[in-house]
Amino acid sequence: MTVRTRIAPSPTGDPHVGTAYVALFNLCFARQHGGQFILRIEDTDQTRSTDESEQDILRALRWLGLDWDEGPDVGGPHGPYRQSERKDSYAQYAHDLVDKGHAFYCFRTPEELDQIREERKAQGLNPGIKGDLELPAEEVQRRLAAGEPHVIRMKVPDEGTCVIQDMLRGQIEIDWAQVDCQILLKSDGMPTYHLANVVDDHAMGITHVLRGEEWINSAPKHKLLYAYFGWDMPELCHLPLLRNPDKSKLSKRKNPTSINFYERMGFLPEAVINYLGRMGWSMPDEREKFSVAEMIEHFDIQRVSLGGPIFDVEKLRWLNGQWLRDDVSDDEFVARLKDWWFREDALRDLLPHVKGRTEVFSDVAPMAAFMFSGMLDLAPEQFAHNKLEEGQVKRVLQFALWKLEAQRHWSKETIFADIKGLAKAMDLKMGDFMFPIFVAIAGTPNSWSVMDSMALLGPDMTRARLRHALNLLGGFSKKETKRVEKEFAAL
Ligand code: GLU
């Protein structure tokens, strides 16, 4: 048997370090067994998936030095590797399950389902969506003939226990009572993740599924689907989730999570991927610095420890310094720094802002330094403003941060709309509102349009600087945060 593993990102946002981490472990596992590693794009959620995000994910994984044997950009014998291009095949599988009695048509609206859940809860029953929602055959035919909107749901046992065999965790038991009759085909005819994922893992000959532990609860549904289809299930391995230094699940609210951020900060890709290799795993000799090739050579999935690995940017910085000093020659240092600093496209983006303000080239570095920096060296006094009290300054930064955390389309226009809306809601003049933002992002109120700077710096760097400024001003206590959250919600 040839080992085949895959990474299956959904292109719905920035390239996440967690995706790179899971990709790395899948790559190492496959290579160590002389097998293949596949990249598949799971873009069945058409409202959230974008081409831009897909391009960004592929580019970021390549920047880290990861490569795949089959994928949307390199092709392969099991293509297409983008689920939106395979969508016609899924409906047939769902209908086959209906014909075999393993799935049923469901005509309930989300509101009706909420009501059913409430009623069941009130009666002390399991509020799950179960097979008792299936209608008699004639009724189904009548509704289908009348063209009523519907989904297809898989049938799931009401009781008993599902046992999942996990490569790291051994047996995991999950009560069927906790598992809903999952939707397989949505009312628009598109498959859900569960159906498409199982169908494609089978079609692509995937033998081992290494993925994040957040998918454990999906495993019973998948196991049942494999059984319904009569297919062998791949081995499952749920990797521990990456965590913030405070042990909570790694989230962009607390830590930069986009690979793009680390590239922009000037990290070396070999150090970032090395650090990801140390998430829950270590070399037999415990050495801290190693390449992907060395990791493959010594890889053993059983050495993954389940205690939540902490993704700590400070430790990553330290490791990066080690790489830079030990493994990058002077010539290479110059070449790579030049590549990072004087990237032609980045300079061109800055040109419209810089050219009109420049008399001699030596003017450029001081005014544009913040575009090539990490966190700025600021003092709290720089935020003092005669129209804003300190509490307001902090609110401006906090509200802008929350607003921009929720922004999925990063552009000058969307940032402007967010900021303008907030200033209005807070009843502040745009100029006053913008002051703390300028200082947080550019280090001075006398820079070019800060909306342009934020657009160019990208979401993670922007958020990191707003967070940094807020921390510098002492942030909000737990109690204050509650109040401020309420104020924000009321805006
Ligand atoms: N598309 C899923 C994700 O975005 C894949 C999960 C899996 O590996 O099964 O993480």
The Cα 345–Cα 356 span in angstroms is 18
pTM of the model: 0.92
Give CB contacts under 8 A, 24+ apart, made by 339-346: 340/266, 341/372, 346/371, 346/456
Residues with Cβ within 8 Å of 391's Cβ and at least 6 positions away in sequence, in order, are: none
Q: Which of 87, 186, 249, 252 is catalytic?
A: 252
424 is catalytic: no
* Ligand 1 midpoint to CA 226 (Å): 17
The one-letter code for the residue type at 385 is H
Helix%, strand%, coil% for the chain, nearest 5: 55, 10, 35
- Ligand 1: nearest atom to the Cα of 193: 1
CB–CB of 66/24 below 8 Å?
yes
What is the distance in A from the centroid of ligand 1 to the CA of 222? 13
Max distance between CA atoms of the chain, in angstroms, equals 82
- Are the C-beta atoms of 210 and 18 separated by less than 8 Å? no
Identify residue 316 by its one-letter amino acid code.
L
Q: pLDDT tens digits for the chain (491 residues)? A: 899 999 999 999 899 999 999 999 999 999 999 999 999 999 999 899 999 999 999 999 999 999 999 999 999 999 999 999 998 899 999 999 999 999 999 999 989 999 999 998 899 888 888 888 899 999 999 999 999 999 999 999 999 999 999 999 999 999 999 999 999 999 999 999 999 999 999 999 999 999 999 999 999 999 999 999 999 999 999 999 999 999 999 988 888 999 999 999 999 999 999 999 999 999 999 999 999 999 999 999 999 999 999 999 999 999 999 999 999 999 999 999 999 988 888 889 999 999 999 999 999 999 999 999 999 999 999 999 989 999 999 999 999 999 999 888 899 999 999 999 999 999 999 999 999 999 999 999 999 999 999 999 999 999 999 999 999 999 999 999 999 999 999 98
pLDDT in the model for residue 395: 97
Q: Count Cβ atoms within 10 A of the Cβ of residue 359 and give its class: 0-12 exposed, 13-18 middle, 19 or more buried.
A: exposed
Amino acid at 266: G
Q: Whose CA is nearest to atom 8 of ligand 1?
A: 211
Q: Would the CB of 42 count as within 6 Å of ligand 1?
A: yes
Please tell me the number of Cα atoms within 13 Å of 67 on its side-chain side: 6
CA distance 342 to 350: 11
- Measured from the CA of 42, which atom of ligand 1 is nearest? 1
Q: What is the pLDDT of residues 402-453, one digit of tens each?
A: 999 988 889 999 999 999 999 999 999 999 999 999 999 999 999 999 999 9
**Contact indicator for 245, 310 with CB cutoff of 8 Å:** yes
pLDDT of residue 370: 96
Q: How far is the CA of 213 from the centre of ligand 1 (A)?
A: 11
**Ligand 1 site, residue 9, Cβ cutoff 6 A:** yes
**Amino acid 278: pLDDT:** 97
Q: What pLDDT is recorded for position 468?
A: 95
User: Of all atoms in ligand 1, which is nearest to the CA of residue 197?
Assistant: 9
Q: Assess contact for 24 and 296: CB atoms under 8 A.
A: no
Atom of ligand 1 nearest to the CA of 9: 4
Q: Compute the distance from residue 467 Cα to the ligand 1 centre, in Å.
A: 30
Burial label for 135, CB within 10 Å (0-12, 13-18, 19+), is: middle
Instruction: Tell me if 211 CB under 6 Å of ligand 1.
Output: yes
Which residues, other chains included, contact 469 with Cβ-Cβ below 8 Å and sequence gap of 6+? 378, 383, 397, 436, 439, 440
Residue entry with tokens 């140390």: 278
pLDDT at residue 252 in the model = 84
The answer, yes or no, to whether any atom of ligand 1 lies below 6 A from the CB of 5, is: no
Q: What is the pLDDT of residue 131?
A: 82
Check if 210 has its Cβ closer than 6 Å to any atom of ligand 1: no
DSSP 341-370: HT-HHHHHHHHHHHGGG-SSGGGHHHHHGG
Q: Residue 277 corresponds to which tokens in the numbers above? A: 């290799």
Task: Tell me whether strands 36-39 and 4-7 are parallel, antiparallel or unpaired.
Answer: parallel
Q: Are strands 170-175 and 235-239 parallel, antiparallel or unpaired?
A: unpaired
Among 19, 193, 204, 223, name the best residue to mutate to test ligand 1's pocket (greatest count of ligand atoms within 8 A of Cβ).
193
User: Is residue 83 lining ligand 1, measured as CB closer than 6 Å?
Assistant: no
Distance, CA 41 to ligand 1 centroid (Å)? 9
Sign of the dihedral defined by the CA atoms of residues 132, 137, 142, 146, in that order: positive
Distances (CA, A) of 49 to 7, 10, 25, 323: 16, 7, 25, 36
Assess whether the C-beta atom of 53 lies below 6 angstroms from ligand 1.
no
